[in-house]
Homo-oligomer: A and B are copies of this chain.
Amino acid sequence: MTTPATPLGRSLRVALLGCGTVGSQVARILLADADDLSSRAGARLDLIGVAVRTLDAERDVDLPDGLLTLDAESLVEQADIVIELMGGIEPAKSLILRAINHSAAVVSGNKALLAQDGPELYEQADAAGVQLSYEAAVAGAVPILRPIRDSLSGDRITRVLGIVNGTTNYILDQMDSTGAQFADALTAAQDLGYAEADPTADVEGHDAAAKAAILASLSFHTRFALEDVSCEGITSVTADDIAAAAEDGYVIKLLAIAELLSDASGANGIGVRVHPTLLPRSHPLAAVRGAFNAVFVEAENAGELMFYGQGAGGTPTASAVLGDVVSAARRMVLGGPGRTETTTGHVPALGIDAVRTSYCIALQVVDEPGVLARIAQIFAANRVSIETMRQRIRQGVGDGDPDGSTAAELRIVTHRATEAALAATVRQVAELDVITAVSSVLRVEGI
């Protein structure tokens, strides 16, 4: 689309820190779409330099001579807007603080840094009256920051469920659609470039946990850090778990969850957690396939909302970065607050013990008279009430054995219960002589 030539009196100096997958696309688009971006921003956006670690590395895009520099510090000092896409804690953090001290607006996609030191950075930016935006740090291209911060500013969010890691969603989706085991699906994801050679940060849930902290901070007007997040990855999810879930009408997703809770004394707080979760197939998040991301929000008045899109990739994530850059530039040109929030609440983070959720427990049992009653009694004694109980004949197990008992799998879905009550129930059930194994315990949401 052509854009009318608008006379733009002002120009803003943009510094880019980092030129990897996302950074190189940001640089490319800043140069290629300069006219469009400038007319939207109301000022010319001049890319004055790209700070890199080595000048002679291979890059995804060709940049004009002289744009690359090793001297990030002096680049930052000349800029009106600093885009930080280096990743990691240092030197990213020092450079962002330097930008804030020089009154430059900062756009960052650095989820690790924001999850660890976000509170400190937000405070410094507020104190200096400088904009700090980070749309790209959660769910890539999916607009989350503005919908939650602005569109829902007249509402009260009660719960956020997010599929915020594309690698694990791809793996679980493959397991669901092909019946593959975790290890095979992981290998397939690595072959396609959806998973790193060292997949730990993804499959153990650490990446999702960092995003959960940022999502929780945004949604509940309070600043949460990584240590507030209870985290469990997907490495122990088996093909059998997924097949059994499918039979019952569920799909397994790795969810980042932040929700308003009450602790034992009735005081409010926010629980933030990441774990594999059973979701009914009719839930909007269940339809999020492959490496896509989505954030599902429950608000007091708006009800259920969902935001869906690509969670990673250079070009999609660059779109989110540039949205922040144009918005920051607009505000600089038209005047307006540097600060993005006027108040911050102080709702405490609550541990996983305050969470009440439903569970799906798979037990290998010796099928003889009275077993169900003994199991049900233990659930009742721990005040964990049972929603459904289903017996399933295990593959490869015969119809009977010499002493007349048969082996079977029992799948129990509970009503909402605390972690503590559930843990006690599972421990006591496991001690029964008729239980061969507790083969899985998974949380259930959306029922």
Binding site for B on A (CB under 8 A): 1-4, 6, 25, 29, 33, 36-37, 39-42, 135, 141-143, 145-147, 150-156, 220-221, 260, 268, 282, 284, 287, 289, 299-310, 313, 315-316, 318-327, 330-331, 333-337, 339, 342-343, 345-347
Contact = CB atoms under 8 A, between A and B. Distances in A.
A301 B4 contact: no
A296 to B, nearest CB: 9
Contacts of A287: 284, 287
14 contacts: A1-B345, A3-B345, A25-B301, A40-B343, A42-B342, A135-B151, A143-B151, A151-B320, A151-B323, A153-B323, A155-B323, A301-B316, A302-B319, A335-B335
Contacts of A142: 305
B337 A336 contact: yes
A334 B342 contact: yes
A254 to B, nearest CB: 19
Contact of A301 (B29, B152, B306, B333): B29
A319 B155 contact: yes
A322 B299 CA distance: 13
A334 B331 CA distance: 12
| A contact face: mostly helix, strand, loop, or mixed | mixed
A151 B155 contact: no
Given A146-B151, A302-B319, A316-B301, A39 B307 contact: no
A337 to B, nearest CB: 3
A150 to B, nearest CB: 5
Contacts of A320: 151, 302
B322 A155 contact: yes
Q: Which 8 interchain pairs have the tightest Cβ spacing?
A: A154-B322, A336-B336, A143-B151, A334-B337, A42-B342, A301-B319, A302-B319, A143-B147
Contacts of A42: 342-343
Given A4-B346, A151-B323, A335-B336, 16 more contacts: A1-B156, A1-B347, A6-B342, A141-B303, A142-B305, A147-B307, A153-B330, A154-B323, A155-B323, A300-B319, A301-B315, A301-B322, A303-B309, A303-B310, A333-B342, A335-B337
A154 B319 contact: yes
**Copies of this chain, tallied across the complex:** 2
B343 A4 contact: yes
Contacts of A146: 143, 146-147, 150-151
- Central interface residue in A29, A40, A289, A321, by most chain B CB within 10 Å: A40
Contacts of A143: 146-147, 151-152, 305
Nearest to A42: B342
A289 to B, nearest CB: 8
A39 B346 CA distance: 13
A289 B286 CA distance: 14
Contacts of A268: 1-2
Nearest to A301: B319
Contacts of A305: 141-143, 307-310
Contacts of A309: 302-306
A214 to B, nearest CB: 16
A423 to B, nearest CB: 28
Contacts of A321: 154
A153 B327 contact: yes
A346 B5 CA distance: 11
A150 B149 CA distance: 12
* Residue picked from A1, A33, A301, A331, most chain B C-beta under 10 Å: A301
Contacts of A282: 289
Contacts of A289: 282
Contact of A37 (B154, B307, B327, B331): B154
A182 B318 CA distance: 45
A311 to B, nearest CB: 10
Contacts of A308: 284, 304-308
A151 B145 contact: yes
A320 B303 CA distance: 11
Given A154-B37, A342-B330, A318 B301 contact: yes
Contacts of A307: 147, 305-308
